[in-house]
Structure 1
Amino acid sequence: MATLLDYCSLVRSKNAGPFTLTFDFMCRDEHTYRALVETGFLSRELFAGLFGADEGQVLVVNHPLALAVKVSLPRPIVQGDLRDSDCYAGQQYAPLMAMKLPELC
């Protein structure tokens, strides 16, 4: 089985304002971009489950010209709240890194 790093040259999470969490998945080439999109791994269901969001509030956007996928959703905790353990949201991608995807063909 493969991981996201077999498909992507860059995986990151960050804030898109104090209320929105966003993820960027940038692929090495067109082949790996198409393969990643075809797996269906980066789904609304996955992110809703991981971050307790409503599926209807999760936005998955494929950017074929940039060989990238962007996922945005409401932050589970507003940035700067006393319970916010990751103010810049730079560590939110970590649970995704150990998940298994189909091998690249």
Structure 2
Amino acid sequence: MVKLIDIAKVIRSKNSGPFELTFDIIFKDKEIYEKVKGKKAINSELIKRLYKISEDKIIGIYYFDPALAVKFTIVRPLPAGHLGETDIYGAQQHAPLLNAELEL
């Protein structure tokens, strides 16, 4: 098992419109990225577990070879700016990924 934070150089989240959040994970090098991609280590099971959401809340998971990156998008729990919503920009939603462990 390896911690995601130890193999990624960027882990971030942001708005993808008022009803979606998108996450980017950019890896330190091609070898690590290829291992993660080959094992499909960033997958719906991991996202569901980390974000405590159902499969239908995951809009997509995309591996992007030119950037050595994985991007995924989920439905926001509350729309941006909605009463009770605490992160209008979606910039702090990557926190669960920081402690994620992957089996490579």
The structure carrying a bigger strand percent of its residues is 2
Change (3 A) 1:23 1:41: same
What amino acid does structure 2 have at the position aligned with 1:55? Answer: E
What amino acid does structure 1 have at the position aligned with 2:98? Answer: M
**TM-score when normalising by structure 1:** 0.85
The 2-side partners of 1:35 and 1:53 are apart by 26
Other-structure match for 1:84? 85
The 2-side partners of 1:54 and 1:102 are apart by 22
The 2-side partners of 1:41 and 1:78 are apart by 29
Aligned residue pairs, count: 103
Highest RCO, 1 vs 2 (Cα 8 Å, sep ≥ 6) = 2
**TM-score when normalising by structure 2:** 0.85
CA contact (8 A) 1:21 1:73 kept: yes
Other-structure match for 1:98? 99
Task: Extract unaligned runs of 5+ from structure 2.
Answer: none
Give the percent of matched residue pairs that are identical in Structure 1 and Structure 2.
36
CA contact (8 A) 1:44 1:55 kept: yes
Task: Extract unaligned runs of 5+ from structure 1.
Answer: none
- Structure 1's consecutive aligned runs of 4 or more residues displaced over 4 angstroms after TM superposition are none
